[in-house]
Chains A and B, each alone.
Chain A
Amino acid sequence: MIVFRRKAGQAIHIGSDIRIVITEVEPGQRVHIGIEAPLATPVHRLEIYEHIRAENAAAAGGNALDWLQKGA
């Protein structure tokens, strides 16, 4: 993992079309991050995305077509 030290207002570039900007650093532990990415690049909070990903995998874990053809 690449680790950068950044201040509010500073940014990081990933590839040619993703830009991550530190917009605000609160006195506690929270950091506000702005992300510019192509429309088709999904950007989500990790903890939510991981749950969705696992549930999609479970939902695709059987044979959907077979299940439907057997009369659901």
Chain B
Amino acid sequence: MQSNLADEQPQSSRWVNAEIDNPKIFEFPSGVAGFTYAKQYVFLAGAGNVACMHCTDHPEAAFVVTDWDENRLGKPPALRPEERALLELETNQEPLWLLVLNPFSDPEWIYANLKAPIAINELRQRGVQCVQISDDLQLRYHWMRHPNKLQD
């Protein structure tokens, strides 16, 4: 049986030429699932509290992200000790939690991945995608309807 679990680096032509003043580059020591080779990201602000988390050297690794909303979702998950260590968090420091949004799979809905939120240590500029094993957290949580569908 042949198993290929390594993340393949595609030859992408999707390059973005963007000049950013004083770019704040975040290190993801483990990458993110499926893109473990892509370890450095910048956050490009979008509208409201939505941003683009864009890898600096692998353009195919680019995600729409938003803040974890405690009013809707409750408290974010607890970090495991190894995740805290990877983030280099201080003892009582809590990370900033982000959700990866998927606006591309459904013409009606934008989904949020609650099963693998992203924890960020803003001070040390480090990030980790934290995979959750709880069945209560949805892979495709209905986050919002696409803006152009809101009037329908």
Question: Taking beta carbons and an 8 Å cutoff, which residues of A are in contact with B?
Answer: 1, 39-42, 44-45, 48-49, 51-65, 67-69, 71-72
Q: Check if A42 sits within 8 Å of B139, measured CB to CB.
A: no
Q: Which residues does chain B contribute within 8 Å of A60, judged by CB atoms?
A: 34-35, 60-63
Q: Check if B30 sits within 8 Å of A55, measured CB to CB.
A: no
Q: Which residues does chain B contribute within 8 Å of A69, judged by CB atoms?
A: 46
Question: Taking beta carbons and an 8 Å cutoff, which residues of B are in contact with A?
Answer: 1-3, 7, 14, 16, 18, 29-36, 44, 46-47, 50-54, 60-64, 82, 85-86, 100-105, 113, 115-116, 129, 131, 133, 139-140, 147
Q: Check if A44 sits within 8 Å of B131, measured CB to CB.
A: yes
Given A52-B139, A53-B33, A72-B147; A59-B44 close (CB under 8 Å): no
